[in-house]
Structure 1
Amino acid sequence: MLRLTAAALVLLACWRAVRGEEGALWCYECGTNVTGEPDCVEFLTSGTWTAFRRQCAGDDVCVKTVPGWNMADEEGASVKESWVSRGCTPQRSVGGVAHKDGCWSGPNSAFLICYCSNDFCNAARTPAPALTPALLGLVAAYVVLGG
């Protein structure tokens, strides 16, 4: 099993190096309120997400911010996608603490912030806890057990 894991890591490193992206994370970017940049409604309704791809700098991670995630408007509608933003952010907070993959919100906060460290991992429409490690574990178990 150790050989399988080592081989998979070598293949991943080679694949990224061939694509010229070694060490560079790619995220989707929208809703940044920068003039000329698309909002996340355009992201979700687009036939292709190629125009929303951004290569992050250095030690960045992908982020998705969802304001008003635990609130509903007068009609009972949940989060408006036009409020959402996606993009890259430094891997460490202003206080120097490393962001961990997953979604967090304070007890009295109307914001949900999700961090993730895989290419294009900030595409999800609805906020959900990061299940990537658990999903990868299930897939690995399936492969190892000969499923």
Structure 2
Amino acid sequence: MLRITTAALVLLLSLRAAIGHEEARWCYECGTGVAGEPDCAEFIAAGTWTSFWRKCSGDSLCVKTVPGWNTSDESRAVRGCTPLRSLRGTKHQDGCWTHSITSFLTCYCSADLCNAAHALTPTPTALASAAFALLAVYVALVGGG
């Protein structure tokens, strides 16, 4: 029976994105207020985040929004998918912005699983290098055994 670990799945997602076969975007989702969905306090406390993965359409970005009155309180954040373009048709850019009226901090990012709490987002080149290194180790362990 084939057992895929979290690291192997992240490796495969990263490799797929690095070589340009992007049919979907994977983002973390929490705090949406949808019944039965976890809030972001559960996300922060979780030992593993795989249960928070959501498959979004390929023309989506990952987003994280934190209320401006307390941008350090990650438990009040909302994470999920958002369309690549705003309702006005403007393409969202990677980075963080504060809304002038609400003071909400909103961060957009275009890599798989990039909207984690306080996590650095590796570059596609770094992901591809790590993917190939992990794949080589896996092949050496499985193929040699």
Matched residue SS, 1:125 = coil
Q: Give the equivalent residue in structure 2 for 1:98.
A: 91
Pair 1:42 & 2:46 matched: no
Q: CA separation in 2, counterparts of 1:58 and 1:64?
A: 18
> Within 2, Cα distance between the matches of 1:105 and 1:80?
15
What is the identity percentage for the equivalent residue pairs of Structure 1 and Structure 2?
58
In structure 2, runs of 5+ residues without a counterpart are 1-11, 127-145
For normalisation by structure 2, the TM-score amounts to 0.65
**What is the number of equivalent residue pairs in this alignment?**
112
Partner of 1:65: 65
Following the alignment from structure 2 to structure 1, what is the Cα–Cα distance between the partners of residues 44 and 100?
29
Q: How does 1:1-147 map to 2 (within 5 A)?
A: 15-16=15-16, 22-68=22-68, 71=69, 79-125=72-118, 136=123
Residues 100 and 15 (structure 1), Cα distance of their counterparts in 2 relative to 1, 3 Å cut: same
CA offset digits 1:69-105 (Å, max 9, x no partner): xx35xxxxx6433321000000000000000000001
Gaps of 5+ in 1: 1-11, 73-77, 140-147
Higher helix share: 2
8 Å contact from structure 2 (residues 31, 76) kept in 1: yes
